[in-house]
Amino acid sequence: MRLKKVADLLRHFPVRYGEAGRIKATEFLIAGEDVVIFGKISNLKTAKTFKSHVPIGTAEVEDSTGKIKIIWFSQPYIAKMFFEGDLVRVEGRVSQRRTKIPSTNETKISELYFSNPKIEKVSEVPEGASDSLFPGEDGHSLSPVYPESRGISSNWIYHFLQKIFRSNVLENIEDHIPPEILKKYNLPSLKTSLIWIHAPRKKEDAEVARKRFAFEEIFLFSSTDKKKNISPRKKILSPYQKRKKRF
């Protein structure tokens, strides 16, 4: 993958979309299920694992029913993208591990946590998201999955794109398709298409965005091809001018 510029990353589209997890309160989480929780983030730290020295980022997310730990293995930078007290949306699979109870080496208890979840900052927590056992809606029905390479995971791409979107870079992006053409073929703008393809609220949004980019490719190719075929007319010389040119 050649992801050297912001434009490269914006054009690095998901290969598919997974269903987003159900919204649940921390109190009702069960190991092995894919869920979405909302809450306040705290205890943001970076460190290395004791034995293998793998860099990690850790945090805790708390709602009105309790708190749960988050661990990002080999992605400590994510913990540096947030501030203490930020409201966040966390999406991922709930994992479980056994830990020793303090002051004893025999009895162990199970601890729930998120391993490498997706996380994004939100302005507010949806009503009822932190006190309900039943699934709700938060507007995120699809979860993008990106092509990966060594050292660059789908999760890394997702979080970096979130950072780009928060920087308002889309406000200044140039759309090469004229407004009248977009209107004629009922296509969304470039800004809207990038949002819909990377963060679709429904399947139809992602499909419309892909159609727009497919049309864009044909449109730009056609425009370039026309420019190449337009060449200055050859100047036709009269017999007298030809003879004059020889001397």
Say which residue the tokens 């209107």 belong to. Answer: 183
Q: What is the mean pLDDT of residues 217-235?
A: 67
Residue-wise pLDDT for 61-98, tens only, equals 999 999 999 999 988 889 999 999 999 999 999 999 87
Question: Does a structural domain hold residue 243?
Answer: no
pLDDT at residue 221, rounded to an integer: 86
* pLDDT (tens digit per residue) in 102-137: 666 665 667 899 999 999 888 887 765 555 444 445
For residue 162, the model assigns a pLDDT of 85
The candidate with the shortest Cα–Cα distance to 45, out of 22, 67, 68, 70, is 70
Which CATH number covers residue 90?
2.40.50.140
* 27 and 69 in a common domain: yes
Confidence (pTM) = 0.63
d(CA 12, CA 151): 16
Q: Give domain status of residue 242, yes or no.
A: no
- Spatial separation of the C-alpha atoms in residues 20 and 16, rounded to whole Å: 12
| Helix, strand, or coil (residue 207) | helix
- Same domain as 67, residue 3: no
Positive or negative torsion for Cα 239, 242, 246, 247: positive
Range of the domain at 106: 21-140
Backbone angles phi, psi at 246, to 5 degrees: -70, -25
Higher per-residue pLDDT: 226 or 87: 87
228 or 200, higher pLDDT? 200
CA distance 241 to 75: 74
**pLDDT at 242 > cutoff 60:** no
- Whether 23 and 37 have beta carbons less than 8 Å apart is answered as yes
